[in-house]
Structure 1
Amino acid sequence: MNAKQTVRVTAISAILLAAAIIMHIAGWHDARQITLVTSTLIAGTPITIKSFKAIRMKAFSIELLVTIAVVGALFIGEYVESAVVTFLFLFGAMLEIRTMEKTRSSLKALTDLAPLEARVMRDGEILTVSVDNVEIGDQVIVRSGEKVPVDGPIISGTATLNEAAITGESVPASKMLDDQVFSGTLVEHGYIEVIAVRVGNDTTFARIIELVEEAQESKSKTEKFLERFATIYTPSIVLLSVLVYLLTRNIEMTLTFLVIACPGALVISAPVSIVAGIGNGARNGVLIKGGEVMEQLAKIDTIVFDKTGTLTRGRPEVTDVYGLGIEKEELLRLTAEAEMISEHHLGRTIVKEAKKRAIHLSNQPEDAEVVKGNGIMATVEGKHLAVGNRKLMEDQKIPIPSEMEDYASQREKAGNTAIFVSISREITGIISVADQIRPEAAEALAKLRKNGIKQMIMLTGDNRHTAQLVGEHLGLDEIYAELLPKDKVAAVQSLKEQGHRVAMAGDGINDAPAIATADIGLAMGEGGTDISMETADIVLMADRLDQFSHAYALAKATVQNMKQNTFFAVGTVFLLLLGVLLGKVFLASGMLVHEVSVLLVILNAIRLIRYTNDKPSNQKQSEVISDEPRITL
């Protein structure tokens, strides 16, 4: 029976009960009895059908207990009890459906944002088509007040976009030529033309909805335990009810015991909390992949951070180009052409700088090889280039002249990353790149400590000077620099072997192995890259560390909420059963209290939808932010 049918049957049952009350007042005894039996049959039929379906599946459901009790009440002529119990059970089911829908409101809010139509340019004409009919490569036009229907780069125009559907961040973002835009975002002001790279179910927005749906349907360990418990508990109650009857010979007490012992509130105590918590995360730009992830996140005591793109903005800039026996522009051009295949932040930064200087990049690199954690090797115009860190030069046995080593050290001490460039196995230049610490990082880390994180560690492939600057500024406990991806995996594994529960936060590209190794893998979303979506347990869609502090506090609040609900559900059943055995609680009144307990459990969980992490950080780290709000690295 679906939600509409439940509402309809519950309404009919309520009307019949009201009519029975009127008939009782009027003294129409026979009519009242007929009305009560009719109400019982109408409301009890769907309950009975559901119980028999459960029996066919070899399961003992709550509906089975209610069915047995209602049949017994009819048998002994307690028509008021049977009618009230069936009505209250359906009414409780209706409230549960409605309130569970409310806990899923964040997902519904997301789906409501999905664009339905797109304006595309085809054969020189502008056509309005369904988003399902947009094809990869289509030129899509989006005007002010319209939603972007595809993922892709801007090829013309500028606009201010509200990206809350993707990132949870409502502050408008300015977009211009070559910037990526995503389906579901809203153009508040401006006009843009976009090339469709991802369409339909492949867009970031569609995948977010899919991930949240899957997360809300997945079960936590607590939920799985409660389900197993219910399969044992329900038949046990039937046997206990038989025992109560044998000891008391009181059929009404036995039926009351049977109904009151229903574990309704207990069974939903965990799922409703998990759904509400995941919904809160989705509304705030945090994708938490299921109840089990939520429970594990709440137990984390150690966080391992990558540096670039995680603790820093991930939008580095070229600060200097230094050539040895080669013009700066020529060095930058050759390096940028070698880096054109790179997905790393630093490689993309070099390409961006070349374009910024209007350097024409025409040659695709040949024999290109990405050396993870170290750099890239490629052939450009017949010249063999090696671009990367010292480790790459050492592995390739390319000597670094003392002049270049001294210059690189100076740049690194100033907070830059020094990228060595060799041509034909000779060092010919160094490109310096600098990044900035995320402005929210210190405050976010302070909140994480406040909420229970015991240690924070940085693992980075960058040089030790830059790593030290970041670590000291943010007050990290340990700093390890110049690491390869395999070294990060080993470090995470070592922490786990020491008994720590470890979360690894990275950019979802080079850090994917370490993210997968940690108890909880967390990726800075970067607008939803494929690897971050697939590898991580948690994705921060806005690339903001304060979303991580919110996710951690939310996980602890969700687990605490589940414990509150479980304690309340068990306590209510215990007190009601005690009241039944003492002769203080009867069938209808007991059922009313039971359904109220179900409602209270749900209402308690709904509080998570509005949960915010407002704990203040400690003074020391707040001062760091105010003293040096934009430290450059």
Structure 2
Amino acid sequence: MRTAAGIGRRLTTRWTIPVVSGTLIAAAWLAGPVPALSLASDAAMVAAAVVAGAPIARAALRGLSGRVVGIDLLVTVATVGAIVLGEYWEAAAVTVLFAIGHALETATLNRTRSALTALVALAPDVALVLSDGAQTEVPAAAVLTGETVLVKSGARVPVDGTVRHGTGTLDEASITGESLPVAKAPGDRVFAGTMSTGGLLQVEATEVGAATTLARIVHRVEEAQDATAPTQVFMDRFSAWYTPGILVLAVVVGLLSGDLFLALTLLVIGCPGALVISIPVAIVAGIGRAARSGILIKGGEFLETASKVTVVAVDKTGTLTRGRPRLTDVVVLNPELTRADVLGWAARAEAGSEHPLAGAIVLAAAEHALETVGAADRGAGGTLLPDTITSIPGQGITATVAGRSVLIGNPALLAAHAIDDPEAAVTVAADLAARGRTPLIVVIDGTVAGVLAVADEVRPDAAGMVAALRAAGVHRVIMLTGDGPLVAAAVGAAVGIDEIRASLLPEDKLDVVTRLQQDGHVVAMVGDGVNDAPALATADIGIAMGAAGSAVAVETADIALMGDNLLMLPTAIDLARRTVRTMHQNVALALITVALLLAGVLWGGVTMAVGMLVHEASVLLVIVNAMRLLRRSRPSPLVPQ
């Protein structure tokens, strides 16, 4: 009720002045034909001009105190001059039209900020805290980290947290842009503002209040919508000279023509209202539309830069691929061993390794319930551990498992340990690598046992993302990866990448980005922000994938794609291009309108009231044009809507 009352008060305040002054004009028109009431008619017209013009004059004085010559000053001078000359109708019409225009502008500008309003509305006011089996309703902001909250079907999640008990589905579209409900089970993360579409969840709060992902998104969108784009900086400088220039023009025309009313009309006609608002309204609408799609754009500067991107450099692991390697092949080369033997010994050796591929091997062995040694040899937590393990960078690992020597790695590891007859293993490894898999040769007690292959699954939407980027105007899509050439080539071929750079260290990725920029390209780098940090920082636009729940990504990325949907990337670039096109259209519309009106005044036919009416119409037209960005773009099979 408080919110509704507040909105009602704002609406009443916004339209009070236009309604009162409009009523006075109507009274003046009714009294005008009666000779005895002519003085009352003039007084009503002046009163209308004063009622509508007082806020304009106050704004003009505030601007002058800050050494700003703005639109309000032009209208104030013209209104006072018209009253002095006895042109009461013109004075009233100009101020009332300006007041009506301002009310309409405020209403439509609020519409462009609807995305931010909608985000704020997502935050629930209350939470059900579960303590000792009892449910207690408390303000959402009062929930403490570590407390357990209950999320029932149809309720919004009040905190960021981890599901401890229960299962259910959540609509996460407000955070990640994902259109389908996401299933949640113990151990899964949930975000404040998302809505339960079924089930009952007990969630342990990890981030509350201003620390939640939703709060960070709102804060980032607020900052972004208030940030100034390079084109806006230019227009602000232009307006700083343009408005005084109109004052000078009006004075010169008045002196040369001797027509003071013509000079005052020029002041009104030359108001650069549509020009001043043309760019910020487009930026606000564009950033708001992006936020509703789960895309955070840091500000107008990055929106403009994203519209100029010609090359997109994409990290492979975790971006084009899921970042979760899995075992794909077990090739046995020692006839005395079985598939279970090779996988089991490899898993026991890799159990002590921190390499990402080790987890895939250990997981595969666990799924097959493989145990090559007794339970007495288990480590803490029930994990089978090697006796010793040594990691050899660039080659693999050596380990001692139950007194036996186990080597797992590439051909270089076999050569370094002088393993006999490695040819068959090397051939198999090369064949697996050519198919986009990472081969790991397993050697037990100096004899080649077999070859395992691990692959990171290519995302199903990766190829669509590359095609959509080209459709959005990107010239080249380059994959940067630390993987070997064969694996990189296989993934690149599956996705349709234009260019592949493999076996790269983080500094190598930085060098690639720098060279592309030196060649005149505007480069967007897409990665996870960890090992890609130097390249992300150097690129013209750094884009973080799957940033939901990552405070660092939300705060540091130029553009943060909150979900894991790769098609959000071309959506962001396409939206940036559409926003900049809208900015250019608005500027052209504003300049053409002012030029035509000035010509109409100088060559006759355009009065002060007509000029103000056209001026306010152009302002609204600029805003409506920008509001088109809030609509979903034309459906495409490649780009998510």
TMscore range, shorter length: 0.7 to 0.9
Q: Offset of 1:45 from its aligned partner?
A: 1.0
CA contact (8 A) 1:399 1:426 kept: no
CA contact (8 A) 1:331 1:429 kept: no
Higher mean alpha-carbon deviation, 401-410 vs 299-308, is at 401-410
Match of 1:332 among 298, 323, 347: 347
CA contact (8 A) 1:293 1:537 kept: yes
CA contact (8 A) 1:51 1:67 kept: yes
Partner of 1:627: none
CA contact (8 A) 2:395 2:410 kept: no
Partner of 1:226: 235
Distance 1:435 1:84, change over 3 A: same
Partner of 1:521: 542
Distance 1:227 1:131, change over 3 A: same
Matches within 5 A, 1:269-280: 269-280=278-289
Q: Offset of 1:311 from its aligned partner?
A: 1.6
Matched, 1:478 2:503: no
Matched, 1:46 2:55: yes
- Show CA shifts across 1:272-296 (max 9, x none): 1111111111111111111111111
Partner of 1:450: 471
TM-score (norm 2): 0.85
Partner of 2:226: 217
Matched, 1:36 2:57: no
Higher mean alpha-carbon deviation, 87-96 vs 459-468, is at 459-468
Matched, 1:21 2:36: no
Match of 2:257 among 243, 248, 251: 248
CA distance in 1, matches of 2:18, 2:173: 39
Partner of 1:236: 245
Higher mean alpha-carbon deviation, 216-225 vs 195-204, is at 195-204
- Show CA shifts across 1:30-86 (max 9, x none): 221111111111111111111111111111111011111111111111111111111
Higher mean alpha-carbon deviation, 210-219 vs 417-426, is at 417-426
Partner of 1:622: none
- Show CA shifts across 1:568-589 (max 9, x none): 1000000100111112111111
Q: Offset of 1:91 from its aligned partner?
A: 1.1
* Residue type at the aligned position of 2:82: A
Matched, 1:595 2:620: no
CA contact (8 A) 1:512 1:531 kept: no
Q: Offset of 1:152 from its aligned partner?
A: 2.4
CA contact (8 A) 1:321 1:332 kept: no
CA distance in 2, matches of 1:210, 1:429: 54
Partner of 1:11: 19
Give unpaired runs (5+ residues) of structure 1.
366-370, 619-633
Match of 1:79 among 85, 88, 113: 88
CA distance in 2, matches of 1:509, 1:382: 37
Q: Offset of 1:135 from its aligned partner?
A: 1.7
CA distance in 2, matches of 1:130, 1:348: 42
CA distance in 2, matches of 1:431, 1:531: 36
CA distance in 1, matches of 2:40, 2:471: 66
Matches within 5 A, 1:86-485: 86-319=95-328, 328-329=343-344, 331-332=346-347, 335=350, 338-339=353-354, 362=380, 402=422, 405=426, 408-418=429-439, 432-485=453-506
Matches within 5 A, 1:477-626: 477-614=498-635
- Show CA shifts across 1:392-421 (max 9, x none): 979xx8888837655543443333234689
CA distance in 2, matches of 1:352, 1:280: 42
CA distance in 2, matches of 1:449, 1:33: 65
Q: Offset of 1:337 from its aligned partner?
A: 5.5
- Show CA shifts across 1:162-206 (max 9, x none): 110111122111122222221111110111222222222111121
Q: Offset of 1:457 from its aligned partner?
A: 0.9
CA contact (8 A) 1:131 1:200 kept: yes
Percent identical: 44
Distance 1:351 1:235, change over 3 A: farther
- Show CA shifts across 1:515-556 (max 9, x none): 111111111125342342233211112212221111111111
CA contact (8 A) 1:554 1:611 kept: no
CA distance in 1, matches of 2:200, 2:451: 40
* Residue type at the aligned position of 2:615: H
- Show CA shifts across 1:82-109 (max 9, x none): 1111111111111111111111111111
* Residue type at the aligned position of 2:563: A
CA distance in 2, matches of 1:109, 1:503: 29
Q: Offset of 1:499 from its aligned partner?
A: 1.0
CA distance in 1, matches of 2:114, 2:490: 43
Q: Offset of 1:478 from its aligned partner?
A: 1.0
CA distance in 1, matches of 2:238, 2:87: 32
Partner of 1:631: none
CA distance in 2, matches of 1:202, 1:67: 46
CA distance in 2, matches of 1:424, 1:26: 116
Larger Rg belongs to: 2
Distance 1:613 1:299, change over 3 A: farther
TM-score (norm 1): 0.86
Distance 1:531 1:427, change over 3 A: farther
CA distance in 2, matches of 1:236, 1:423: 86
- Show CA shifts across 1:316-373 (max 9, x none): 433357899987457536645643xx8x7x57766866876789874799xxxxx9x9
CA distance in 1, matches of 2:402, 2:40: 100
Provide the aligned length of Structure 1 versus Structure 2. 608
Distance 1:408 1:245, change over 3 A: same
Give the secondary-structure state (helix, strand or coil) at the position aligned to 2:127: strand
* Residue type at the aligned position of 1:177: P
Give the secondary-structure state (helix, strand or coil) at the position aligned to 1:509: coil
Q: Offset of 1:443 from its aligned partner?
A: 2.4
Distance 1:105 1:252, change over 3 A: same
Distance 1:58 1:533, change over 3 A: same
Higher mean alpha-carbon deviation, 251-260 vs 133-142, is at 133-142
Distance 1:122 1:75, change over 3 A: same
Q: Offset of 1:4 from its aligned partner?
A: 5.3
Give the secondary-structure state (helix, strand or coil) at the position aligned to 1:196: strand
Higher mean alpha-carbon deviation, 603-612 vs 356-365, is at 356-365
* Residue type at the aligned position of 2:42: Q
CA contact (8 A) 1:540 1:547 kept: yes
CA distance in 2, matches of 1:241, 1:382: 96
CA contact (8 A) 2:396 2:413 kept: no
CA distance in 1, matches of 2:447, 2:67: 75
Give the secondary-structure state (helix, strand or coil) at the position aligned to 2:489: helix
Q: Offset of 1:442 from its aligned partner?
A: 2.1
